[in-house]
A and B are shown apart, each in its own frame.
Chain A
Amino acid sequence: MKTFEVFLKKDGKTQFRHVGSMQAPDAEMALPLARESYARRAEGDLMWLVDRDDLIVADDDLIAPNANKLHRHNDGKRVADHRRSHRDKEAGE
Chain B
Amino acid sequence: MNNGLSPGATEWLLAFADDEHIIGARHTSWIGLGPFLEEDLAFCSIAQDELGHAIALYELLGVDVDRFALLREPSEYRSAWLCELPCADWDLALVRHWLYDEAEALRWESVANSSLEQLRFLAARAQREERFHLDHAEMYLRRLAHSGAEGRSRINAGVASVLPTALGLWEPVAGEPEAISDGITAHSSPELAVLWRERVETKLAAWGYDWQWPTEGPNQQRRTQRSRHFAQLLTDLQEVITVDVDTAW
Contacts and interface: CB of A to CB of B under 8 A. Distances in A.
B interface SS class: helix
Contacts of B39: 33
Contacts of A36: 38, 41-42, 45
A23 to B, nearest CB: 6
A25 interface: yes
B36 A32 contact: no
Contacts of A40: 41, 45
Interface string B215-239: 0000000000000000000000000
A33 B45 CA distance: 10
Contacts, number: 33
Nearest to B143: A25
Contacts of B41: 33, 36-37, 40
A73 B37 CA distance: 43
Contact of A1 (B36, B136, B139, B143): B36
B132 interface: yes
B135 interface: yes
A29 interface: yes
Interface residues of B, number: 12
A23 B38 contact: yes
Contacts of B136: 32
B143 A32 contact: no
Contacts of B45: 36, 40
B37 A32 contact: no
21 contacts: A22-B38, A23-B36, A23-B37, A24-B38, A28-B139, A32-B132, A32-B135, A32-B136, A32-B139, A33-B38, A33-B41, A34-B38, A35-B42, A36-B38, A36-B42, A37-B37, A37-B38, A37-B41, A37-B42, A40-B41, A40-B45
Interface of B: 36-39, 41-42, 45, 132, 135-136, 139, 143
